[in-house]
Amino acid sequence: MTEQLRLMAVHAHPDDESSKGAATMAKYVSEGVDVLVVTCTGGERGSILNPKLQGDPYIEEHIHEVRKKEMDEAREILGIKQEWLGFVDSGLPEGDPLPPLPDGCFALQDVEAAAEPLVKLIREFKPQVITTYDENGGYPHPDHIMTHKISMVAFEAAGDPEKYPDAGEPWQPQKLYYNQGFNRPRTVALHEALLERGLESPYGEWLERWKEFERRERTLTTYVPCADFFEIRDKALIAHATQIDPDGGWFRVPMDIQREVWPTEEYELAKSLVDTSLPEDDLFAGIRNN
């Protein structure tokens, strides 16, 4: 390797980085890769999902500061760098019909304008690889979908000297991936492994809900072996205490079963400017030693 490898992971909210690709990032950090998480919003409108913290007036009043502190702790655990884009959480609209999104929120920004601060960070950090969400956002949260949109614009524009001339010297990333850690093959494999061992599975309802949605199966192109870093992933996730119940479903699959049955995190290669052979086991395949 003749050049420092750099990975940028673009996420919508604090805690997304710890639930999507965290073990991959910890693995690369351990190998000397420079890893930067870009968090688009402050998570201000996120619900307090940990029942142990619900109803706490301080947390409810200072949710922005609390979630920033949680992000700082997760960053330290993962060994990554982290930057905020500074947009305001759009919230997850619920009801029928869905209510309008709040004024000024991330999802209502002009995509071209909202991509500029991300272009600036790409040009400053110079990642060879970027990870983000697919066009459905992984799930249809407006902030996740907007994260996808600005990531695609920024990937294309960062290397073009005619685009965003005030955002720094051009830099062209070589590969862009969609996080696909929540995929059906993984979920089925863990579900069946638990039942075979006479254990309760937290995935039964997930799989039933999956049947209700007509969505195409994503193409999993890249399987990164990172089982040795699953515990670090879980610690980082637990650091987001307002969002994660340490006694909840996230942590009901014994670690030894996870490592044995599904020791990887998965990605979908969306764009590549280098030659690579699929399937891959490395986000930097085709880049190392080139």
| pLDDT exceeds 70 at position 290 | no
| pLDDT exceeds 60 at position 63 | yes
pTM (global) more than 0.85: yes
| pLDDT exceeds 90 at position 145 | yes
Residue 26: CB partners within 8 Å, gap ≥ 6? 78, 79, 226, 229, 232, 233, 236
Percent of the chain residues past pLDDT 90, beyond the cut: 78
Residue-wise pLDDT tens digits, 195-206: 999 999 999 888
Q: What is the mean pLDDT of the chain?
A: 93
Residue-wise pLDDT tens digits, 214-256: 566 789 999 999 999 999 999 999 999 999 988 877 788 999 9
Cβ contact 119:160 at 8 Å: no
Q: What is the pLDDT of residue 199?
A: 94
Q: What is the pLDDT of residue 209?
A: 81
Where do we find the tokens 């072996």? 225
Detail the residues annotated as belonging to a binding site: 13, 16, 144
Q: Is 154 exposed, middle or buried (0-12, 13-18, 19+ CB in 10 A)?
A: buried
Domains of the chain: 6-182+219-272 (3.40.50.10320), 184-217 (no CATH)
Q: How far apart are CA 33 and CA 129, in angstroms?
A: 11
| pLDDT exceeds 80 at position 126 | yes
Q: What is the pLDDT of residue 1?
A: 44
Detail the residues annotated as belonging to a binding site for Zn(2+): 13, 16, 144
| pLDDT exceeds 80 at position 11 | yes
Q: What is the pLDDT of residue 214?
A: 54
CA 78 vs. chain centroid, Å, equals: 13
Q: How far apart are CA 178 and CA 249, in angstroms?
A: 24
